[in-house]
Structures are given as structure tokens and as C-alpha cells.
């Protein structure tokens, strides 16, 4: 049963507009969904693309949190391999101090870009960056004072004499989530006792089994911790950690109108798969493109899950997906050419689920 709705914003840039306009529209949409009763608002990280404006979630989280009052605001997510764990910990410590109990730090491993752009993001380009995401993650959690219940020799952290004395936010810190769309991300989340946000809109085929394995391994981990420390069983993370499932959805007054509006995102995605990233195209142009490229359109539909339609259609699709995952919180990502259509989509979904 869906108890919470949240939003993932990729800050889409419509053809003919600018990145600045896209970012201001993100702030506007955050205000809008807060008024509609959405629970949290996460912003994504993408680099080197004319389609998506937010390359730095932490730069957008502050303005969004300042423009809202209740909404939890966070990253969906920070691509940790690009950064120093200490820098990320300090940044989100500052945000948590400014907006207590409202900041989420969603962490991901994907580059959020093509390989050349990912290489350009490296500070040291003499060789490829090491694939040490688990070490980075453990170091970051350690900076927040968290316990990492895995062998120290496989998860090195900062030596005691080099660890910073304090973080700028003091006792305030974000809620840390692990994001993912693969089995490995679920394994890491379970091993570290972290809540998990699964991107069904990226991997709809294997999602249910990945989340099921995450829950099983989290339960096994906690049982082991309780056995090792029977005097303090509360040290073990509860088995029922929060789970978010993120789905792509677009709602309009009718099924036909929603399908028409969704053509813009489908064309943009088709171009991306062909190695040509473009701003989000106008609806009429996208409809013509998809009509002339039926095979491409069909491949897009098969590769991703698109929940598109009227309020009753989208509600049924999201509720069915939540039931399949056993998730109480659905996070919705929507891309349209027209900003008002995106606002309207979130509004119709909120009404369909009876949000206050």
C-alpha cells in the first residue's frame, strides 16, 4: 500500500530554454509538490548533457530547502566515486545544520555521465580512478560516527591521526541512503544496514528480486549482530528499514493526452541511446519522430517502464508496482517539454492518491 509519494527531479532542459530556467523550475516544482503533500524531493546528478541541468545536487538542495518548509530534500544522488568522502560529509553536514531533520544524502556509484566526462571529473588523470566505492562509503559513514560492521581489513577508513576533529554541522547529519539499480547495490546496502532506494525506472526487469535479496541479507545481518551482541540488541538495524522505489510516471487528464505528452521524454531517451543527447524536444516534434521511427519507439518501451495515462491509470500502475516490491513509498520522476504539464502531472497523481 502506498503511504508516501515523493519526487525525483532531474531538472530537464526544454528545447529553446536554458539550464538556469530548468533549475528555477526545479525550485518551483518543489514548492508545488510540498503544497500537494509529497514527502521528499530529491535532485539528481548528471554531467555533460544538454538535457539535464543539475550537475551538483548539493548546490540545488540548499535553495530548495530554503524555498520550502516541511519537505525532506536530498540527493538522488551524489555520485560518490567522483568525490572525497570527507568533502561530501562536510557539505551535507552544513546542509543538515541549516535545515535540521530535513536533509537526505542519497549516494550512488554510477558516473552520471559518459566515460570521457567521468574522466574529466577526475582530479588526477594520470590513471583511471580506483573502483573502491565500498571503501569510500564506509569512510563517509565513519565520518558521521556510524558503525561499519564489516572486517576492517576489507573496508579501510581514515587513520585516527588524520580524521578531522569535527564536521561543521556538529551533531546534525543527513539520513544516508544507498541508491541503486543492480544486485550489488542491494548487497552493499544490506551489509551496511542502510535504507535502499531502488531505481525501477532504470531496471524494471530484475528489481523485485534485487529488493527481495536486499531484505533477506539485511535480516541475516541483523540476526548475526544480535547474536554477537545479545546485551545490546538495539545496536542491530531494524529489519524493516525504509525502502523507496522510484518509477517513471506521467499523468494527464486522459490516457491519450498523457501518451502524447510522454513522446518528448521518449524521443530524448531514444536519442540518448543512439549517443546523441538533446534538450527535451517539443511534443509535436517528438510525436513525428516516434511515428517515423517505430522500431526505436518499441525498443524504448521494452527497455524502460513507463507508467503513463489518466489519474486512474497511473494510480493503478503505481499501486501495482508498490505491491510487487512491498514498498510504502513511491518516488516519481517525470520529464515533459512543458513545465506546466509536469506540475499538472504531480498534481493529478497527488489527487489520485488522496494526498493532503
| pLDDT number for residue 318 | 98
Q: Dump pLDDT digits (tens) for 238-291.
A: 556 889 999 999 999 999 999 999 999 999 999 988 889 999 999 999 999 999
**Dihedrals phi, psi of 7, to nearest 5 degrees:** -125, 140
| Total residue length of the chain | 356
| pLDDT number for residue 129 | 76
Closest CA to 58 of 24, 104, 92, 23: 92
Q: Dump pLDDT digits (tens) for 281-302.
A: 999 999 999 999 877 777 776 7
d(C-alpha 106, C-alpha 176), whole Å: 6
Q: Which residue has the higher pLDDT, 162 or 138?
A: 138
For the chain, how far is it from start to end, CA to CA, in angstroms? 17
Q: Which residue range is the domain that position 171 belongs to?
A: 4-352
Q: Dump pLDDT digits (tens) for 85-116.
A: 999 999 999 999 999 999 999 999 987 667 77
| pLDDT number for residue 30 | 98
Concatenated DSSP letters of 111-122? -SS-HHHHHHT-
Q: Dump pLDDT digits (tens) for 224-234.
A: 877 776 666 55
CATH number at residue 237: 3.20.20.30
d(C-alpha 93, C-alpha 105), whole Å: 10
Q: Could you identify the residue written with the cell 569510500?
A: 136
- Mean pLDDT value of segment 202-223: 92
Number of Cβ atoms within 10 Å of the Cβ of 174: 26
Angle between helices 85-98 and 57-67 (to 10 degrees): 10
Number of Cβ atoms within 10 Å of the Cβ of 20: 10
- Domain count for the chain: 1
Q: Which residue has the higher pLDDT, 35 or 111?
A: 35
- Mean pLDDT value of segment 334-355: 98
Partner residues linked to 251 by β-bridges: 309
Amino acid at each position: 500500500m502506498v503511504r508516501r509519494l515523493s519526487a525525483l527531479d532531474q531538472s530537464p532542459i526544454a528545447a529553446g530554454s536554458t539550464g538556469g530556467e530548468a533549475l528555477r523550475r526545479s525550485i518551483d516544482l518543489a514548492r508545488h509538490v510540498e503544497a500537494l503533500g509529497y514527502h521528499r524531493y530529491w535532485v539528481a546528478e548528471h554531467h555533460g548533457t544538454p538535457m539535464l541541468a543539475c550537475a551538483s545536487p548539493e548546490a540545488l538542495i540548499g535553495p530548495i530547502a530554503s524555498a520550502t518548509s516541511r519537505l525532506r530534500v536530498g540527493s538522488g544522488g551524489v555520485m560518490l566515486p567522483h568525490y572525497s568522502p570527507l568533502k561530501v560529509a562536510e557539505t551535507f553536514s552544513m546542509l543538515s545544520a541549516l535545515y535540521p531533520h530535513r536533509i537526505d544524502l542519497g549516494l550512488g556509484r554510477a558516473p552520471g555521465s559518459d566515460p570521457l566526462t567521468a574522466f574529466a571529473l577526475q582530479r588526477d588523470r594520470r590513471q583511471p580512478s580506483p573502483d573502491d566505492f565500498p571503501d569510500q562509503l564506509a569512510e563517509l559513514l565513519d565520518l558521521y560516527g556510524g558503525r561499519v560492521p564489516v572486517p576492517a581489513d576489507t573496508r579501510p577508513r581514515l587513520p585516527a591521526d588524520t580524521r578531522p576533529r569535527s564536521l561543521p554541522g556538529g551533531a546534525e547529519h543527513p539520513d544516508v541512503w544507498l541508491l541503486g539499480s543492480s544486485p550489488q547495490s542491494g548487497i552493499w546496502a544490506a551489509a551496511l544496514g542502510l535504507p535502499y532506494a531502488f531505481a525501477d525506472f532504470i531496471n524494471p526487469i530484475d528489481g523485485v528480486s534485487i529488493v527481495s535479496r536486499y531484505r533477506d541479507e539485511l535480516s541475516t545481518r541483523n540476526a548475526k549482530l544480535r547474536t554477537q551482541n545479545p546485551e545490546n540488541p538495539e545496536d542491530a538495524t531494524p529489519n524493516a528499514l525504509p525502502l523507496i522505489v522510484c518509477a517513471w510516471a506521467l499523468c494527464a487528464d486522459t490516457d491519450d493526452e498523457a501518451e502524447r505528452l510522454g513522446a518528448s521524454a521518449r524521443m530524448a531517451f531514444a536519442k540518448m541511446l543512439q549517443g546523441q543527447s538533446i534538450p527535451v524536444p517539443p511534443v509535436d516534434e517528438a510525436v513525428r519522430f516516434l511515428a517515423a521511427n517505430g522500431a526505436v519507439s518499441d525498443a524504448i518501451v521494452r527497455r524502460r517502464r513507463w507508467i503513463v495515462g489518466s489519474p486512474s491509470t497511473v494510480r493503478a500502475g503505481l499501486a501495482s508496482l508498490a505491491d510487487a516490491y512491498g514498498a510504502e513509498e513511491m518516488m516519481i520522476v517525470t520529464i515533459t517539454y512543458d513545465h506546466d504539464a509536469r506540475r499538472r502531472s504531480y498534481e493529478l497523481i497527488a489527487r489520485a492518491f488522496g494526498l493532503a
